[in-house]
Structure 1
Amino acid sequence: MTLSTSSPVPGAADIRRWRRYLADERAEASVYRDLAGRRSGEERDILLALADAEGRHEQHWLELLGDDVGRPLRGDLRTRVLGFLARRFGSVFVLALAQRAEARSPYARDSDATPQMAADEQIHEEVVRALAARGRQRLSGTFRAAVFGANDGLVSNLALVLGISASGVANHVVLLTGISGLLAGALSMGAGEYVSVRSQRELLEASTPNPETRSALPNLDVDANELTLVYRARGMSPDEATAHAQEVLSGIATYSTEPVVGEDAVDEHESVGKGWNAALSSFCFFASGALIPVLPYLFGLQGTTAVIVAAALVGIVLLGTGAVVGLLSGASPLKRALRQLAIGYGAAAATYLLGLLFGTTLG
C-alpha cells in the first residue's frame, strides 16, 4: 500500500486524527461482521467482504501511526450505536444507517487517505444501498400501509378534534367525535388499502403471460413464426424478435426455462404486498395514530390544555415516524421528521382556525 508523504513528521493533530480513523475502521468492520452473523448465503459473504475491506483501511492507519498507535480508542458514537443495533437486530434499518455512515466518509477530503480508500468508501455506500434495497422491497407493501395509516390517523384525527374543540362544543362531544373519526377512518383506510393492493396485484396478474403458452410452442408453424409477435409486443425490435423466436423454436426439444412466462412478475407482486396484510396493517396503524389526539380528552382534559397536550403528543409521534421513513430511505432522519411535523401541524392549524371561525359565526 502506498502511504501519504504529505506529512513526513506527523504532528499531534495528525496522530489524533489517524487514531480516530483507525478506531472508526475497526468499529465499522465489527458492524459488518455482526450483520453477517445474522444473515446467510450471498448477503453474508458480501458483508464479510466489506469487513475485510475495512480491515485493509485499518492497516493503512496502523502503518502511518507506527509506534504512535497508543491505546485502542472507541469508535465514534454513531458507529457504536450502529454496532449495538447490528448485534441485536440486523434489520434493514441498520443497513440504512450503515449506508449513511459510508456516505459521510472524510477520506475524499483528507490527503493522508489514499485515493483507493476514498473510492472504496464510495463503492461501499453503493453495496450497502443495494443490500438495504432488498430489505426495503420486502417491507415496501406492508410498511407503506403502516406509515401512511399512522400518519393519516395522527393528522386527520388531530385536525378533526382540534377543529371541533375550537368551535366551543362540550368536552364529551369532542371525545365522541374523535372516537368516531378513529373508527370511521381506520375502517375506511383498511378497506381502501385492501382494494388498492388487490387491484394492483390483479393488474399485474393480468399482465403476466399465461403458463399454458408453453404447451403451444411445439405446434407453431415455424415458417409463420407467430412467436416473433410475442417478443415484438414486449418491446424487441423485429430483427431481435425474429432471432430470439428462432432460437426458442430450434431448442424446443430441450426447452425448459424460456421465459414465455414472466419470471419477474413474482418480484413485482412481492413489492406490492398482500391485500389482507396491507389492510390489517393500515387499520391498526391508523387506529393507533388516531388514538393519540383523543387521549387528553379521554383523561378529562378540556379546552386549551387538551388542545396543547394533543398537539404535543401528535408532534412527538410525527417526528418519530418521519425519522423512521428517513432512515429507511437513506435520507436525513431529522429533515424527514421536521417535514412530517410541518405537514401535520399545517393541516391541524388550518382546521383549528376554521373551527374558531365557525364557532364564532355560529355563536
Structure 2
Amino acid sequence: MSAPATEATPADRRRWARYLVEERAEGAVYQRLATRRSGEEKEILLSLADAERRHEQHWLDLLGGEPARLPKAGLRSRLLGWMAGRFGSIFVLALAQSAEARSPYDQEKFATPAMRADEKVHHEVVRGLAARGRRRLSGSFRAAVFGANDGLVSNLALVLGIGATGVSGSFVLFSGIAGLLAGALSMGAGEFVSVRSQRELLAATEANGDADATAGDLDIDENELALVYRARGMDQDEALTRARRIVTAARQGVRRAATGPIGVGGGADHEIVGSDWTAAISSFLLFASGAIIPVLPWIFGMSGGPAILVALVLVGVALLCTGAMVGILSGGPPLRRALRQLIIGFGAAAITYGLGLIFGVSAA
C-alpha cells in the first residue's frame, strides 16, 4: 500500500467499496464456472477465485471491516455472474478475458504491486482457458457461424434484388425458398468435402506402430527403425537411441506404442478440425435458419416495400447478434464486430437491390 488508509478521503472509501464488490463478483464467477468443469481447468478456476478473495480482503482491511452499505457490482460483473450459472464457460471466459484486460489497479495508489501483477496474470490465465474452449468449438462453430451469415446475406441480397424488379410476391417467395435450398445444400456438401479431405490428409501423415510391432525381429545394431524416427523429425542420435530402446523392449516381450514426433498426436489435430458430418449438418441447418429470415415477410403474405423493410429489420437484428457472438468468442469488441457484420450484409443487399431497380420489369 503506497499511502496509509488514515489519509483516505470519503471518495477513496467509496472507490474501495466498489473494488470490494467487484472482486467478490469476479470470484463468484470463477467459483461457479469451476462447478461446471473438472480436472485441471477446475483447479485453475478455483485458484483464480482464491486470488480474488485475497484482493477482496485487501479492500476489507482498508475499510476496517464490512461496510454497512455496499454499492452494486457493475452491469458487466452481474451479467457474467448470471451467465456463469446458465451458459457454457466459453462465453463467460471470453467476456471475462475482456474484463481482466481493463484492470483499474494500474492507476490505483492503494493497490499493491502484487495485486497489479495478479491482474495481468489473471488476464493471461483466462485467455488461455478461453483459448481451450475456442479450440474445442473451432470445427463445428466455424461452420455454424459462417453458414448462418451466408444464409442471411445471400438470401437477403437475392430476395431484395428480385423484389426490386417489381415481380409478384409469390415469385419473390419462390426465389427465396429456392435460394435457401440451393445454398444450404451447397454449404453442407462443401463443408463435408472440406473437413473430410482435411481429416484424410491428417490420417495420411499420422505415425503408426507397425514398425514397432515387428521390432523384436530386427538386428539391434543394424536396422532401419532409426530411419522411421528420423523421418518423423528426430535427429540422428535421438532416433538411434529410440530405435535401440524399442528393439530391446520388444525382445524382452514389452509392447511399446509409437508416439508422434513433435508431442502433438493426430487425435488432437482431428479434434481441432472437427467432424465432417457435424460440419456439414451444421452448415446446412445454420444456412437454412439464416436464409429463412429474409423470406419470412413473404411467407406471411407481405409484399412490396413493407416486406422489404421488415426483411431488412429482421436480418439486421440477426447480423448484429451473430457479429456480437463472434466478437465475444474471439475476444474482440462485440459492438465493432456486430456493426461490421451489419455493414457487410446491408452493403451486399444494397448492390443487388440497385441492380433490381435498374433491370426492373415493372414498366414492362
Structure 1-normalised TM-score? 0.92
**Structural mapping, 1:210-229, within 5 Å:** 210-229=208-227
Residue in 2 that maps onto 1:150: 148
User: Who is 1:47 aligned against?
Assistant: 45
Aligned length in residues: 361
Partners of 1:290 and 1:77 lie apart in 2 by: 34
Indicate the residue corresponding to 2:301 in structure 1.
Answer: 300
Aligned to 2:206: 208
Please say which of residues 228-237 and 199-208 is displaced more in the overlay.
Answer: 228-237
Q: CA deviation at 1:211?
A: 3.1
1:198 equivalent to 2:220? Answer no
Give the corresponding residue for 2:63.
Answer: 65
Distance 2:103 2:119 in 1: 7
Shift of 1:275: 1.6
- The range that moved more, 317-326 or 92-101, is 92-101
Number of the residue aligned with 1:315? 316
**Structure 1 segment 78-97 matched on structure 2, within 5 A:** 78-97=76-95
Q: Which amino acid aligns with 2:60?
A: L
Q: Matches of 1:6 and 1:191 in 2, distance apart?
A: 68
Match of 2:85, SS state, is helix
- Contact 2:23–2:53 (CA under 8 A) maintained in structure 1: yes
Give the one of 103, 106, 111 matched to 2:104: 106
For the residues of structure 2 that align with 1:209 and 1:331, how far apart are their CA atoms?
37
Q: Match of 2:110, SS?
A: coil
Q: Which residue of 2 aligns with 1:128?
A: 126
Aligned to 1:116: 114
Aligned to 2:259: 259
Partner of 1:278: 279
Contact between 1:183 and 1:287, CA under 8 Å: does it hold in 2?
A: yes
Q: How far does residue 334 in structure 1 lie from its aligned partner after superposition?
A: 0.8
For residue 257 of structure 1, report the CA deviation from its aligned partner: 4.5
Moved more, 91-100 or 60-69: 60-69
Q: Give the deviation of 1:198 after TM superposition.
A: 1.1
The separation in 1 between residues aligned to 2:203 and 2:233, in whole angstroms, is 19
Gaps of 5+ in 2: none
Residue among 169, 172, 177 paired with 2:170: 172
Aligned to 1:35: 33
Structure 1 position 175, deviation (Å): 0.8
Asked whether the 8 Å contact 1:197–1:272 carries over to 2, the reply is yes
Shift of 1:135: 1.9
Amino acid at match of 2:75: L
Gaps in structure 1 of 5+ consecutive residues: none
CA distance, structure 1, for counterparts of residue 245 and residue 4 of structure 2:
60
The AA in structure 1 aligned to 2:259 is P
- Over the matched positions of the two proteins, sequence identity in percent amounts to 61
Aligned-residue offset at 1:94: 1.2
State the partner residue of 1:339: 340
351-360 or 224-233, larger mean C-alpha shift: 224-233
Larger mean Cα displacement after TM superposition, 350-359 or 171-180: 350-359
Verify the 8 A CA contact 1:15 1:68 in the aligned structure 2: no
Give the Cα–Cα distance (whole angstroms) in 2 for the partners of residues 45 and 346 of structure 1: 47
Query: Once the 2 structures are TM-superposed, how far is the Cα of residue 65 of structure 1 from its aligned partner?
Result: 1.9
Which shifted more, 131-140 or 41-50? 131-140
Aligned to 1:354: 355
